[in-house]
Amino acid sequence: MKRYVCTICAYVYDSEMGDPDNGVEAGTSFEDIPEEWVCPVCGAGKDAFEEE
Amino acid sequence: MAAVKISDNIYWVGAVDFEIREFHGYETPHGTTYNAYLILDEKITLIDTVKSSFSDVLLKNISEIIDPSKIDYVISNHVEPDHSGSLMEILAIAPNASLYTTPLGEKGLRAYYHQDWNFKIVKTNDTINTGQYTFEVIQTPMVHWPDNMMVYLKEKEMLFSNDAFGQHYASNERHDYEVGESLVLERAKDYYANIVLPYGAQVLKAFKDLDGKNLSLICPSHGLVLKTTINTILAKYSDWANNKVNDNEAVIVYDTMWGATKGMAHEIAKDFESKGIHTQVYYLKETHISEVMGALMEAKYICVGSSTLNKQMLPNVAAFLTYMKGLAPKNRTGLAFGSYGWGGESIKYVNETLESCKFEMMDPIKKIYMT
């Protein structure tokens, strides 16, 4: 599974874990996360993420 | 305050601000310091600067040791203006100095100051060699801004930790052992609660990066240099970062219109006390929200009360809840309470906000006019 890193705060989005606290179920690929989702640590937008 | 030698070739050259009481919304009853450190080596190096209004103090303190134009390197661990605020003055006097910072540090410094300084970008595992000394770079994103870094002076086992391990405490002493552990710990806890609390996971990551490094001195960017309290502070940071709380501690915070909600707060306090749970009660018209944060740092129970005013909670309570939610304390049990005449919407809103903080909730207590 690909992992994506926030270029602002280094938070890693792992699709196996998802981000259930913010409505993203485990197993959701990064591409399928809604565009309005933001980094749960620093609040940066999805476009601030890069593939690890 | 004059420059202070903290080790051979290492000097504190910062500024003490006894007067400041408001620090971007954080009340600082004991003032603070802006710590900058000067290293005498083949390359004269300055670590961080001070708030711009104290630039003259920084320059005076450096000048006691060395001509500031001789500075070769400036290490900027953090872009926030209380640490970068004198870069304009320093780099005007030493225009050829190299400015070491992280990639996001460069971005932030360019955004603040619009200067094409001699930036040298560093990342974790990079080193900055000043002659006999080697500084290892440790990036610490979100402890507590994205750009943050620390530098570890290997030969002296000294960590320049920037805001981590800091304390807002103004004094003429510069070392922890001059003021005593309980005071250092109290100020460090208050600082953690108001600055670092949301970033426990990032603190633990920084700990991992520091693993295996001996620490003989920690030189933070605010407050006292740590020597005798290092183990205590590190253990506390570990507890706080892991969100350890005391099951026998409760904090009750409220605002009240005519005293009924205050009465409820004290009834609830009696109830906790009768169960052997130590309780602190705070009235938001008398106590600043940042002081309450320091108080609730290790408390399992957080109880928030508000009267209902025009179908809302009282504004002081809303301010407290917004502030606390951002600082994101975890592993807590919450209780909403309040008195009302009709409607009683405030209790529902307080309850919803505490729930949104992911607290485990007790049943709210809602009462018509109790005096």
| Closest CA–CA distance from residue B65 to any residue of chain A (Å) | 37
A8:B141 CB<8 A: yes
**CA–CA distance, B320 with B254 (Å, rounded to integer):** 9
For residue A2, the model assigns a pLDDT of 81
**CA–CA distance, B6 with B10 (Å, rounded to integer):** 6
**CA–CA distance, B347 with B239 (Å, rounded to integer):** 32
For residue B108, the model assigns a pLDDT of 97
For chain B, domain boundaries:
4-241, 246-368
- Who's near A34: CB < 8 A, 6+ residues apart? A23, A24
Q: Is B40 on the interface with A (CB under 8 A)?
A: no
**Using CB atoms within 10 A of its CB, is residue B363 exposed (0-12), middle (13-18) or buried (19+)?**
exposed
| Closest CA–CA distance from residue B358 to any residue of chain A (Å) | 9
Positions of B marked active-site: 24, 78, 80, 82, 144, 163, 191, 222
For residue B370, the model assigns a pLDDT of 56
CATH assignment of B246-368, among 3.40.50.11540, 3.40.50.360, 3.40.50.300, 3.30.1550.10? 3.40.50.360
pLDDT tens across B36-58, in order? 999 999 999 999 999 999 999 99
For residue B14, the model assigns a pLDDT of 98
pLDDT tens across B264-316, in order? 999 999 999 999 999 999 999 999 999 999 999 999 999 999 999 999 999 99
Within 8 A of B139 by CB-CB distance, chain A residues are 10
Q: Are B330 and B243 in contact (CB under 8 A)?
A: yes
For residue B124, the model assigns a pLDDT of 96
Q: What CATH architecture is B4-241?
A: 4-Layer Sandwich (3.60)
The minimal CB distance from A8 to the residues B146, B199, B358 is found for B146
Within 8 A of B142 by CB-CB distance, chain A residues are 9-10, 41-42
Q: Read off φ and ψ for residue B142, nearest 5 degrees.
A: 70, 20
- State the count of interchain CB pairs (< 8 A) between A and B: 18
Q: What is the ipTM of this complex?
A: 0.83
Q: What is the DSSP string of B60-128?
A: HHHHHHS-GGG--EEE-S--SHHHHTTHHHHHHHSTT-EEEE-HHHHHHHHHHH----EEEE--TT-EE
pTM summary value: 0.95
- Please state the rounded mean pLDDT for residues B152-175: 98
Full 3-state SS string of B180-214: CHHHHHHHHHHHHHHHHHHHHHHHHHHHHHHCCCC
Residue from B142, B327, B357 whose CB has the most chain A CBs within 10 Å, to mutate: B142
pLDDT tens across B311-358, in order? 999 999 999 999 999 999 999 999 999 999 999 999 999 999 999 999
Residue the block writes with tokens 């309290």: B229
Which residue is closest to B140 within chain A, CA to CA? Answer: A9
Within 8 A of A8 by CB-CB distance, chain B residues are 104, 141, 146
Whether residue B125 is predicted with pLDDT greater than 90 in this model: the reply is: yes
- Please state the rounded mean pLDDT for residues B48-69: 98
pLDDT tens across A1-52, in order? 689 999 999 899 999 999 998 999 999 999 999 999 999 999 999 999 999 8
